[in-house]
Chains A and B, each alone.
Chain A
Amino acid sequence: ETGVTQTPRHLVMGMTNKKSLKCEQHLGHNAMYWYKQSAKKPLELMFVYSLEERVENNSVPSRFSPECPNSSHLFLHLHTLQPEDSALYLCASSQDETGHPTFGSGTRLTVV
């Protein structure tokens, strides 16, 4: 266990569904991140939250909607996704934006 917990581990959803990914960190960090990992491609940074404020949104489509209710929790709300959105979604946290991120095990998302 890394101290960053993601649920669910696996998710299959239809293109018209709405679902949410959850991340919780027990490390006392103040920055949290969502990354997308597709096969054979580099990790893509999606969103950054620092002190519960969104500081970065890397041109991510609006069908992905993040929420950070407090410094320990991060959500990614999903709706009307496309099959190309199928990937491993990784949550991470760090102490400030300069610390090295600690990753969760990810949610394997399949859009059908």
Chain B
Amino acid sequence: GQNIDQPTEMTATEGAIVQINCTYQTSGFNGLFWYQQHAGEAPTFLSYNVLDGLEEKGRFSSFLSRSKGYSYLLLKELQMKDSASYLCAVRDSWGKLQFGAGTQVVVTP
């Protein structure tokens, strides 16, 4: 079956670095997405990986290893506003986007 796994919750201190891991087993692979969702708000697109390697966008980076079925989202220089849920999603070979349950990141002062 299709499976997207990510930790339920992570806590980190302001200014620190947090790495959110995502492992997946899907019917084929056509790209991996990360979204950020603040409570009561829309999920917003953060990054897209389709080839192996690291994509960097300011304080956020996303890594993909297709052979391992693995990705991570790295959040650097954490700020209080980064407290949110982070969703990993994989597009399978049918074009369907499968989501994980999300990782709640709590940033403490």
A55 CA / B95 CA spacing, docked (Å)? 12
Is B97's CB under 8 angstroms from A2's CB?
no
Is B100's CB under 8 angstroms from A45's CB?
no
Interchain CB contact (< 8 A) of B44 among A45, A98, A103, A108? A103
Is residue B63 contacting chain A, with contact meaning CB distance below 8 A? no
Is B43's CB under 8 angstroms from A45's CB?
no
Is B42's CB under 8 angstroms from A43's CB?
no
The residue on A at minimum CB distance from B100 is A42
Is B45's CB under 8 angstroms from A100's CB?
yes
Between A and B, 25 residue pairs with Cβ closer than 8 Å are: A2-B42, A2-B44, A4-B42, A40-B8, A40-B101, A42-B98, A42-B99, A42-B100, A42-B101, A42-B102, A43-B87, A43-B89, A45-B96, A45-B97, A90-B43, A97-B95, A98-B95, A100-B45, A100-B48, A101-B45, A102-B45, A103-B42, A103-B44, A105-B41, A105-B42
A4 CA / B41 CA spacing, docked (Å)? 12
New contact pairs (20) apart from A42-B4, A105-B40, A108-B40, CB-CB < 8 Å:
A2-B42, A4-B42, A40-B101, A41-B101, A42-B99, A42-B100, A42-B102, A43-B87, A43-B89, A45-B96, A56-B96, A90-B43, A97-B95, A98-B95, A101-B97, A103-B35, A103-B43, A103-B44, A104-B42, A106-B42
Count residues of B near A (Cβ-Cβ below 8 Å): 23
Is residue B72 contacting chain A, with contact meaning CB distance below 8 A? no
Chain A, residues 11-54, CB within 8 Å of chain B (1/0): the string is 00000000000000000000000000000111101000000000
Is residue B33 contacting chain A, with contact meaning CB distance below 8 A? yes
